[in-house]
Each structure stands twice: as C-alpha cells, then as structure tokens.
Homo-oligomer: A and B are copies of this chain.
Amino acid sequence: MLIVMRYGATQPEVEKVISFVERVGFTAHPIYGELQTVIGAVGGKIIDPRDIELIEGVKEVIRITSNYKLVSRVFQQEDTVIDVNGVKFGGEHLGMIAGPCSVESYEQMDKTAQLLKKSGVRILRGGAFKPRTSPYAFQGLGEEGLEIARAVADKYKMALTSEIMETSQIPLFEKYVDIFQVGARNMQNFNLLKDLSQIRKPVMIKRGLAATFEEWLMSAEYIMAGGNREVMLCERGIRTFERVTRNTLDLSAIPVVKKLSHLPILIDPSHGTGLRDKVIPMSRAAVAAGCDGLIIEVHYDPDNALCDGAQSLYPSEYDKLYHSIKKIAPVIDKRIL
C-alpha cells in the first residue's frame, strides 16, 4: 500500500499516518520527494484504503497488490487449456460453441444441432432458464429445456452448456450440462460463485455489464479459490453511452486478460452486438485479436425464434463464418478443429 501525502503536508501529519499504519501491522517506508511525501506500507493485513484517506494530510492511498492470485499469470505462467468433448480452449487452441439462445422445443434443438454438426460444432448451447428484464417475458422451459438439450446433444455426440441462475439449481445442472455458464447479471452473485467452486466441471463466467477487468478476474478467483480450476472467461459487451449496438463489445479484453491471467477468454459476439449483421465481422475480429473461443447464437429458423432471433445466425451464415475463421486463425498461430 502506498500512501500519497498532499503537497504541503506537515511532518506531524506524516508521522500520524506512519503511526496509524504501524498500529495495524504494517512497516512504513516514507519517501520524501521534492513536493510530496509518499509512505510505502508493507506487510500488514488487508484494510480499507479509504480509512487512511480520511486522515489529515493524505491525498490518496494506492493498493499495490492485486487481490486475485490463483487466476493470475504470476501464479501460473502457462496458459490453462480446457478440453470439453475434444474441443480445446486456451493456449494455441480456439474452440467453438454454438446453438440457439433458448431451448424452445425438441424439434428446434434437433434441427439446429443437425445443421451445426455439419459445420463441425461439438459443443451446443441453449438456455433453459432465461434471465429476462420483464416478468411478463418468456422465461424459458426450465428443466424440460435442459432435458431436451441434453437428449439432442447426446444424439449428435455434442457437449452442452447452459446458463445457471442460482445455487439451488446446481444439482439439476450437474445432471445435464458439461459447462456451467454464469451470466453477466450473476457475475457478482457470490453465493453462486462459491458453490460453483465446489463442482468439478468447467465454468464459463461472463463479464458483467459494468464490471472492470479486475472485478471480473476476482469473480473467477472465487471459483478457483474453492478448488475448481477449469474457469473460462467470456466477454459479451459492456454498457456505454452508445445505444445503437445493444452493448459495446470490448475486444481489448482479449489482450488485456491474456496478459493478466492464464485463463482462456471467449467472446460472445451475439450478445455483444445484438444484431446478426454485426456478429460476423465481430467474430472474425475476435479471432484476429487472439481469443480462445467463440460462443455464437445460431437458430435453424431465426425469424421464428422465441428469443433473440435478431442476433442469431442462420446455420448457413455460421458455416460461412466458420470457414473464414479457419483462414484467420493460423495467421496468429491458433488451431481450430
């Protein structure tokens, strides 16, 4: 912790700060600059920096230890690679996940999966419990949705991912899914994160709408801290002043996260843009920026989708996208199945 004194702070003020931090267990190292004094405080317990900021003469307090440890590249230098049904995420690998926003019926899942299978997809997505802003909107099929999605995934030898909404659903999801998906709105549902740290299946955690990189990594830390080391991060757009796009897809998350952490980072261009004709260019961009995976909404008949049809690709578009990605990936030394 670094305590920056105000320009003009008096020596007694400096000493008061030193005695405060020493009282709570730190060793103080004052640096007397020309204009300002800075006090390095080493070795104490975690305290709220604002407690010190309110001491007379203090300008600001700067925390220097990132709170995340297990997710950090310092803790583990080599990339974490997660393998689900032979599809790898991380390192030199780029994995693909595709499927509809919501499970609507067996027929819908079956038709969609059949087409995706032809494009090489081995991991299916499909929401059964949908977080909806309005209480009057379609809330998903619930367990029936999971059953359908599982049956279809099995039929096509695919793995399955679906979004979990709260801790009580964990036993249910364990029966059906291969990857637990934590939605953006639940990124700081800490009870859920703690309980997911106890399971032994991969968890994909989406970045919250207004979450900083640090907060996002801290949420991943919750999962790793409990012993679950298979965590994937997924950027899906942040909220900014711009509203033409549903969200602002922050692709700089890719190089930022890869520098700070060893965990794989995926991109969800479907939620990140909210419009089908933006999904394709942004998917290509994500690959060129070095992402470790994509999760893309595809529906065999988007015009009649119950949910987010407008951001779902037609299967033929997915296929075309897949082939362009296969050409871009090698340019940055990534392998895709």
Interface residues of A (CB under 8 A from B): 2, 4, 6-8, 29, 31-36, 38, 40, 42-43, 46, 48-51, 53-54, 59, 62, 64-68, 72, 74, 131-137, 165-168, 185-186, 188-194, 208-210, 212-215, 218, 221-222, 225, 238-245, 248-252, 254-256, 259, 272-278, 281-282, 284-290, 303, 305, 307-311, 324, 327-328, 331-332
Residues of chain B with a CB closer than 8 A to A289's CB: 281-282, 284-285
Q: Whole-angstrom distance from the CB of A216 to the nearest CB of chain B? A: 10
Residues of chain B with a CB closer than 8 A to A134's CB: 67-68, 218, 221
Report the separation of the CA atoms of residues A238 and B49 in the bound assembly, to the nearest whole angstrom: 21
A-B contact pairs, 28 of them (CB 8 A): A7-B65, A7-B66, A32-B42, A40-B40, A48-B307, A48-B309, A50-B308, A53-B275, A54-B275, A54-B277, A133-B188, A133-B215, A135-B218, A135-B222, A166-B167, A186-B189, A213-B242, A214-B244, A238-B240, A239-B241, A245-B252, A248-B250, A252-B272, A256-B278, A281-B290, A288-B288, A324-B331, A328-B331
Interchain CB contact under 8 A, A251 and B303: no
Q: Whole-angstrom distance from the CB of A182 to the nearest CB of chain B? A: 12
Report the separation of the CA atoms of residues A278 and B250 in the bound assembly, to the nearest whole angstrom: 12
Interchain CB contact under 8 A, A288 and B328: yes
- Residue on B nearest A63 in the bound complex, by CB: B4
Interchain CB contact under 8 A, B67 and A136: yes
Q: A135-B222, A287-B288 are in contact. Are A51 and B213 (CB under 8 A)?
A: no
Query: Pick the contact of A38 from B64, B194, B241, B331 — CB < 8 Å?
Result: B64
Could you say how many copies of this chain the assembly holds? 4
Q: A168-B167, A218-B134, A324-B331 are in contact. Are A244 and B285 (CB under 8 A)?
A: no
Query: Pick the contact of A310 from B48, B66, B132 — CB < 8 Å?
Result: B48
Interchain CB contact under 8 A, B132 and A190: yes
Q: Whole-angstrom distance from the CB of A44 to the nearest CB of chain B? A: 10
Interchain CB contact under 8 A, A38 and B2: yes
Q: Whole-angstrom distance from the CB of A299 to the nearest CB of chain B? A: 11
